[in-house]
Amino acid sequence: MYSSEEYKEIEKKIFAGERLSREDGIKLFACKDIAWLGNMADYVRQQKCGDIVYYNVNCHVNLTNICTSKCKFCAFGRDKDDKGAYAMDVEDALALVRDASKDPNLAGLHVVSGLHSDWSFEDYLQRLQALHDEFPNLYLKGFTGVEITHFAKISGLSVEQVLRKLQQAGLQAIAGGGAEILSDRVRNELCPNKATAAQWLEVSRTAHKLGIKTNASMLYGHIETLEERVDHLLTLRDLQDETGGIQTFICFPFLPKHTELGKTVQQTSMWDDLRTIAISRLMLDNITNIKAYWVMLTVPVAQIALGFGANDIDGTIHKETILHDAGASSPTALSEDNIIKIIREAGRIPAACDCNFNILRTFAD
């Protein structure tokens, strides 16, 4: 148990704008004063971001749930002969976005998928290109470091060559998933069939070199230790020191329902979720945006998280499937009016943005 004096020393560092250490991060996860922790994170958020809260009017396009990874924490992936397995062809993907385009404010697409056992890189690329060709005014954020590593493997291309082809097909930013916990111990246990921590980081590093902004996440609340959560944050902080290309950080609490781990792991509490978001804000001093992802947190907890350091609440989504397969109890979509209301109720200013956090419009009144 840490003393109040030790927390006072951390508080002094925060108010002085000093970088927190690994030891500080571990102490923060042991902190029982959740109100103090939230206050510290909210102070840093205010200093760094002001009262703007970002959201986007977007549509998730999950091209396939057929996946070779078989991660123990996943409820989305299927073998191709399983009940419920699907793979969108080009027309399926276009039809989904045409439906979402009934919203005149739709601004972007979020394209992520399973690692299909039979698809080539060209299959993924063809679908992305078709989306860009029919909807050239929609920004394209898509694919994770895991998917891009997979594309390089199945195509024989380098990661850089894969990224250049995706850029040419319209990709503007890379999704933040697949980071999970950047620990070889955790990944070897939970997801040994997909990108290693080093490979995930190399995708981000290469993308930043090409001018492609990326996002980063942490999936927590399964088999990781609190020290591994801190180390994950420090690994991302080091990468951001090196490249400056990470736009937002997303906390993903593990949803155990319908997963292999579901019999032994319980879902995180609201307090753990808020604590983790607050500590992420305090440790990630070089990443401007911290997302409260309402799909996983639920809307009420995401709204509270705006007082625990978060300044990004994601988007309207249109229809989310990956996390709802794991038992997410949130809606599969929110209207823009609803998101604006949620942000305003938290005393913040809603700002619609594109995938690179360029503000499209604000609602100050």
- Give 261-280 pLDDT, tens digit per residue: 988 999 999 999 999 999 99
pLDDT tens digit sequence for 50-73: 999 999 999 999 999 999 999 999
Considering only 142-151, 207-216, 310-319, which range has the smallest mean pLDDT?
A: 310-319
What pLDDT does residue 319 have? 60
Q: Say what the pLDDT of residue 234 is.
A: 98
Instruction: State the pLDDT at residue 331.
Output: 59
C-alpha–C-alpha distance, residues 54 and 340, integer Å: 10
Q: What's the pLDDT at 337?
A: 92
CA atoms within 13 A on the CB side of 87: 16
What pLDDT is stored for residue 167 in this prediction? 98
Residue 33 included in any domain: no
State the pLDDT at residue 324: 44
Gap between the Cα atoms of 83 and 258, Å rounded:
14
Neighbouring-strand partners of residue 186: none
What integer pLDDT is reported at residue 77 of this predicted model?
87
Residue 186 and residue 235 in contact, taking contact as beta carbons nearer than 8 Å = no
Query: What does the pLDDT look like over 115-138, one tens digit per residue?
Result: 999 999 999 999 999 999 999 999
Sheet holding 108-112, edge to edge: 58-62, 108-112, 139-142, 173-174, 213-220, 246-253, 289-291, 312-315, 52-56, 349-353, 359-362
Q: What tokens does 363 get?
A: 């609602």
Which pair of tokens denotes residue 263? 């019999």
User: Is 150 a domain residue?
Assistant: yes
Output the pLDDT for position 330.
46
- Contact criterion met (CB below 8 Å) for 180 and 126: no
Q: What ranges make up the beta strands (E) of the chain?
A: 52-56, 58-62, 108-112, 139-142, 173-174, 213-220, 246-253, 289-291, 312-315, 349-353, 359-362
Q: Is residue 181 part of a domain?
A: yes
Q: Write the pLDDT tens digit of every residue in 308-346.
A: 999 999 988 876 455 445 444 545 678 999 999 999 999
The predicted model scores a pTM of 0.94
- Residue 8 covered by a domain: no
Q: Which residue range(s) make up the domain with 147?
A: 38-362
DSSP 75-93: SS-B-TTSTT--B--HHHH
Write down the pLDDT at residue 4. Answer: 86
151 within 8 A of 203, measured Cβ to Cβ: no
Statement: residue 3 has pLDDT above 90: no
Q: Structural domain tally of the chain?
A: 1
Residue 170 has a pLDDT of 97
Mean pLDDT for all residues in the chain? 94
* CATH for 132: 3.20.20.70
Per-residue pLDDT tens over the stretch 42-52: 999 999 999 99
Where does the pLDDT of residue 258 fall: very low under 50, low under 70, confident under 90, or very high at 90 and above? Answer: confident
57 found inside a domain = yes
Helix (H), strand (E), coil (C) string for 205-229: HHHHHCCCEEEEEEEECCCCCHHHH
Note the Cα 104 to chain centre separation in Å.
25
Q: Is residue 103 part of a domain?
A: yes
Would you say residue 20 lies in a domain?
Answer: no
In this structure, is residue 5 part of a structural domain?
no
Q: Are 159 and 206 in contact (CB under 8 A)?
A: yes
CA distance 90 to 358: 29
What is the separation of C-alpha 256 from the centre of its chain, rounded to a whole number of angstroms? 18
What is the rounded CA–CA span in Å between residue 260 and residue 87?
23
Across 145-173, average pLDDT: 98
